[in-house]
A and B are shown apart, each in its own frame.
Chain A
């Protein structure tokens, strides 16, 4: 197995006023990376017009492109239509499932979806009390279980998890502590630690920090555009991590 170069970004929040501007930065991406991954919040308001605009920005890229959606992409209740527009443009869109693709000599498994909130171990919501709280936590628990199953079922040389919400607190440093429960959940990390993966990528926390790790030792990277400050970050995975 050789190494794999992953270009990743989230929270590009494209709208009509910036049409074409992000695409410029993707010129030559095939020289830098073997695969491109997007961690959600591709639109601002989750309208179909914005979804189609994003699809056009990503259409026909020379490397496989895999995306999940974020909370902004769900805002207009058109997440499935947006996902369909992206798929029409050749983007693989994950909704709490997984895919295995061949990247050169590497069989790459990618699992994930939007993720959700709830907070972190010791300071989180529980499935107790009002139905609304139970539904909130159960939604995250359902997602985490789906990711665990997807990861366990795939056979691949390398496994990457794509999420919008964060599985760990470390990559939220810089955000107000009071909103941590709305930025992610430890249940996501617990599921991935149980099933095993080589890297977790997420976005959502614009004021957070780039680097973190799950309790099980899996590297986590917050690739929200305001955090990485560039069109995409590139991570090299493999036996030696050399590109």
Chain B
């Protein structure tokens, strides 16, 4: 059986290199037959694509997509650099 660390690395590489996602910095954790995705992206569709690519890269694992979509707030308080 392939070590979970290598599977996680392969999924992370797929998320970065797959033309549908190209997303760096997504954390991939594997516990038993479960795979957890964590991180932040700019849109809900990107989150779904990441879940799909992860599933394709590790089809035997159950994917839990815990990625958050960044909520863009309006500009807040100014910082005075005096």
Contact = CB atoms under 8 A, between A and B. Distances in A.
- Does A associate with B in a complex? yes
Given A17-B43, A75-B22, A207-B25, A230 B78 contact: no
Interface of A: 5, 7, 12-15, 17-18, 21-22, 25, 29, 32, 44-45, 72, 75, 198-199, 206-207, 219, 221, 225-226, 229-243
A112 B45 CA distance: 33
A163 B39 CA distance: 23
B80 A241 contact: yes
B75 interface: yes
Interface string B27-44: 000000000000111111
Contacts of B82: 236, 238-242
Given A12-B42, A44-B22, A75-B22, A22 B78 contact: no
Contact of A22 (B41, B72, B76): B72
User: What 5 pairs between A and B have smallest CB-CB spacing?
Assistant: A241-B82, A241-B80, A17-B45, A230-B73, A234-B78
A236 B81 contact: yes
A117 to B, nearest CB: 13
B45 to A, nearest CB: 4
Contacts, number: 84
A231 B81 contact: no
Contact of B46 (A7, A44, A231, A240): A44
B2 interface: no
In the complex, which range does the number of interface residues on chain B fall in? 20 to 34
Contacts of A17: 43-46
**Most chain A beta carbons < 10 A, residue from B22, B40, B41:** B22
Given A14-B42, A15-B46, 7 more contacts: A22-B72, A199-B81, A221-B79, A226-B70, A231-B74, A235-B78, A236-B79
A243 B76 contact: no
Contacts of A44: 22-23, 42, 46
Contacts of A13: 41-42
Nearest to A243: B78
B59 interface: no
A225 B81 CA distance: 20
A233 B46 contact: no
A231 B76 CA distance: 9
A9 B16 CA distance: 23
B72 A219 contact: no
Nearest to B44: A17
B75 A236 contact: no
A242 B23 CA distance: 39
Given A15-B43, A17-B43, A72 B81 contact: no
Contacts of A232: 75
Nearest to A234: B78
A77 B29 CA distance: 32
**Most chain B beta carbons < 10 A, residue from A72, A75, A234:** A234
